[in-house]
Amino acid sequence: MLSQKTIEIVKSTAPVLAEKGVEITKCFYKNLFSSHPELLNIFNHANQAKGRQQTALANTVYAAATYIDQLEVLIPAVKQIAHKHRSLAVKPEHYPIVGEHLLGAIKEVLGDAATDEIINAWAEAYGVIAQVFIDVEKEMYEEATNQTGGWKDFKKFKVVKKVEESAIITSFYLEPSDKTALPAFLPGQYITIRLSIPGETNLLNRQYSLSDAAGQSTFRISVKRESECTPKGKVSNYLHDHINMGDELEVTAPAGDFVLDAEKAAPVYLISGGVGITPMMSMLKTVAASQPKTHSSFAQKIMSMLKTKETAQLNNPVTFVHAAKNGEVHAFHDEVCETIENLQNARRYFVYEQPTSEDYVKKQFNGEGYLDFEKLSSIVKEKEAQFYICGPVEFMKATVINLEKLGVAEENIHYEFFGPALNLKEYEMA
């Protein structure tokens, strides 16, 4: 337990961390990777280059300073980060390394202002915070390992099917190389894949949402080719260009807390932009597999997995909303339409930013331009519904703001980031 003096010192540093946080975390990552290049494989280099990882860590450090005397307030955020850590096989022995370089970065950036008293207080506080993460992650490791079909850390999977879903998104169907059964997972969760790329010193890890319902013989991930960003996506391009049927990847058990809540009796809105459609496909397909008219052993498994007898959410109205540039890059168009048609109470709305001439001929979209306030106001019929959002950060921020303008309560809005969690409300759009 922290002393009152330590708490007071740490809390007093919050204003400085708010101002210098990103500078400190940039220094931290630079020094960490210089001393421990073997840890590079845990981090997404694109997120590093964009500054997202540094900003996310700065937000976490600032929150820790602010709530150091009320750590229970941070538990939801801790669990979200812990899911990612478990999926990446972060271990207790990594925490002292992180602590050493975080304290070193604080000292380096703040200079003489970082007195011995401040550094010692933060060292003590970091030890307590690290233990919270270690304890939460220990439970997650045990759950992932001990569940039916579970395993520890990474396991080899074979690509048994590769399907082009659009001009830029390809699905990979992954089957355990040892032919064992797959564990259940919640709709919206993700897996981490690890692979070796020629020319890269370290193995590379990436997290991808599962894009189908549980209960299959394979995991399906659907990967966007990141070729227009800077830097280009090393893993996504390698998967598209070089990974084919018969190749093996290493995979961790499903993780993540951005999941469909089946216990709330309310309509569901699944809103996505671009490749953000992937977790929404898992949610939609889970609803379809679990509705009464599809009663089967699979439906029974889904209800058991969701740990509820009533699964109220799964029998309520579903609205599927997706925004894409045009039909060429719109993945799962036909799969969504077919699934929606077979549901008892569901509808879909597709908006294309720049429809092609073929899109007009096929009439396969409902709105043109952006998914703005006007379009959302015409789509959203039940403001007490549960809203799930995934896509580019700018898309999610605009959607959240517009939903709140429509009167949707903040607690009914759920969203997922690709990469490190950021404070969406404070994210500066370009």
Q: How far is CA 11 from CA 70, 103, 229, 245, in A?
A: 11, 16, 38, 54
3-class secondary structure, 349: strand
192 labelled binding-site residue: no
**Cα distances (Å, whole numbers) of residue 131 to 74, 138, 389:** 13, 10, 32
> Residue 51 annotated as binding?
no
Q: Is 85 annotated as a binding residue?
A: yes
- Consult the annotation and say whether 387 binds a ligand: no
Angstrom distance (rounded) from CA 192 to CA 253: 8
322 is in an annotated binding site: no
Binding site annotation covers 417?
yes
330 appears as a binding residue in the annotation: no
Cα–Cα distance for residue pair 321/64, rounded to 1 Å: 36
95 is catalytic: yes
User: CA 267 to CA 180: how far, in whole Å?
Assistant: 36
278 is in an annotated binding site: yes
The DSSP code for 210 is B
| Helix, coil or strand: residue 413 | strand
Of 29, 95, 141, 415, which one is the catalytic site residue? 95
278 secondary structure, DSSP code: H
User: 244: burial class by Cβ within 10 Å (0-12, 13-18, 19+)?
Assistant: exposed
Active-site residue flag, 137: yes
Q: Say whether 419 counts as a known binding-site residue.
A: yes
Please pick, among 29, 126, 137, 141, the residue that the annotation labels catalytic: 137
Query: Any binding-site annotation on 274?
Result: yes
206 annotated binding-site participant: yes
**Dist CA 187 CA 279 (whole Å):** 7
Task: Quote the CA–CA distance of 89 and 99 in Å, as a whole number.
Answer: 18
| Residue 157 marked in a binding site | no
Radius of gyration (Cα) for the chain, nearest Å?
22
Binding site residue list: 85, 190, 206-209, 274-279, 417-420
Residues annotated within the binding site for FAD are: 190, 206-209, 417-420
Binding-site entries for heme b: 85
**Catalytic sites, residue numbers:** 95, 137
User: Where is the binding site for NADP(+), in residues?
Assistant: 274-279
